[in-house]
Amino acid sequence: MTIDCPAPVGQYVSHRRLFSADRPLRLTSGVILPQVRVAYETYGELNAARDNAVFVCHALTGDSHVARHHPGDSPGWWDVMVGPGRPVDTDGLFVICANVLGGCAGTTAAWPSGTPHASVDIADMVAVHRELVAALGIRRLRAVIGGSVGGMQALEWLLRHPADADGYFIAAATGRQSADNLAWNAIARAAIRSDPEFLDGRYPRRGGPRDGLGIARMIAHLTYLSEASLQRKFGRDGRRPGTRFHPSTVVQGDFAVESYLEHQADKFVRRFDANSYLTLTGAMDRFDAFSVPDALGTVDVRPKVRLYSFTHDRLYGPDHSRRIQAELAARGVPARHDQDETSDAGHDAFLLDVPPFLDAMADFLRGLGAAPHPSSRTLTPR
């Protein structure tokens, strides 16, 4: 059984049915999906040569709305990076962003019958991305880019299908969760499952474990910010008397940072699904990019790879990127690693206006240029 999550999507979202009973998607877990409904958005124009496409992989709770389509459109989650005149310049590039398999913004959530949340892996998300790219008539991508969990997807894509793109940009990401990362996710999932409204994942379409999901978001949100940024924003300031962001039973404390977390929880439960959160954090935790054989050794021309990390990122700091760089080097793929020290925002810096990071992306895409595309190196979905 597959379920299409009910979360609302924007007016610019397109949908496409991929795979079929004759050619289904087989998940890493062995579950077979005869069809997958994908929600995606595109920006810019595909050129006549069909070689200017960039695929943007979104992070854990993101969606296909990576940027505004026009000044009056609702904000995208990466407006600082994608758009006309931006580093990922849609005046010359054709940008694709799709909600991931297992997400809750228009793409099928793969939940097998009898199990409210599924074992979906990063590799399964990439398989759906590749099928979408092929369905759009694109034989090869200019680049695959992503930050955080989006960076995991870009890394998976690089390792298993390196010839699909001229270059891969991986920001604030990891090739494998640390014990600390695993622990934070475990606590977040426990918060969801312990909510009386979770009902073993079989909660009604409207409602569900709002408090548990809200707490999970608070836990995760703390890992996205640095201690310095929290101190600078809030310190030990109290909130104004009588001020409450929403009638939550979760926090209701006296300090501004508590109100802030309460606000983040309220925004999140209005747009996300608890089963999807369990599914996607499980995919993160199982991801171990370099534990299985890869196809890099069979590629005749190596793609360009750029890694970017932030010194004050306490989730996936520079050590994670250095490990990726070393593992790639051991496989004969050089990767440039830039470490940013200008922002103390923490993990979320990859979403913010950090000039060296934006410049690095623009420089990377310019450097790809019009690389030769041997006919033997074209995107072929599984």
- Classify residue 100 as exposed, middle or buried by CB count within 10 Å of its CB (0-12, 13-18, 19+): buried
Collect contacts of 65-70 with beta carbons under 8 A, ≥24 apart.
Answer: 65/9, 65/10, 65/12, 65/13, 65/41, 65/97, 66/41, 66/95, 66/97, 67/43, 67/95, 69/12, 69/41, 69/43
Q: Would you call 363 a catalytic residue per the annotation?
A: no
Per-residue burial over 45-57, b = 16 or more CB atoms within 10 Å of its CB, e = otherwise: ebeeeebbbbbbb
Q: Do 169 and 135 meet the contact criterion of CB atoms below 8 Å apart?
A: no
Residue with tokens 């054989």: 293
Q: Tell me the C-alpha to C-alpha distance, in Å, between residue 217 and each of 3, 92, 210, 250, 265.
A: 23, 37, 10, 12, 6
Q: Would you call 70 a catalytic residue per the annotation?
A: no
Phi, psi of 132 (to 5 degrees): -65, -45
The DSSP secondary structure of 158-190, one letter per residue, reads: HHH-GGGEEEEEEES--SB--HHHHHHHHHHHH
Look at residue 53 and give its three-state secondary structure.
strand
Question: Given 273, 343, 347, 348, which residue is catalytic?
Answer: 347
* Distance separating alpha carbons of residues 337 and 114, to the nearest angstrom: 44
Enclosing H/E stretch for 231: helix 227-233
Question: Given 148, 259, 309, 321, which residue is catalytic?
Answer: 148
User: Strands (DSSP E) along 19-69, which ranges?
Assistant: 25-26, 32-33, 36-43, 53-57
User: Angle 127-40-79 (CA atoms, 0-180°, nearest 5)?
Assistant: 115
Per-residue burial over 351-368, b = 16 or more CB atoms within 10 Å of its CB, e = otherwise: beebeebbebbeebbeeb
Q: Would you call 313 a catalytic residue per the annotation?
A: yes
Question: Given 313, 338, 340, 348, which residue is catalytic?
Answer: 313
CA 118 to chain centroid, in Å, comes to 18
- Residue 264 CB coordination number (10 Å): 18
Catalytic residue numbers read: 148, 313, 347
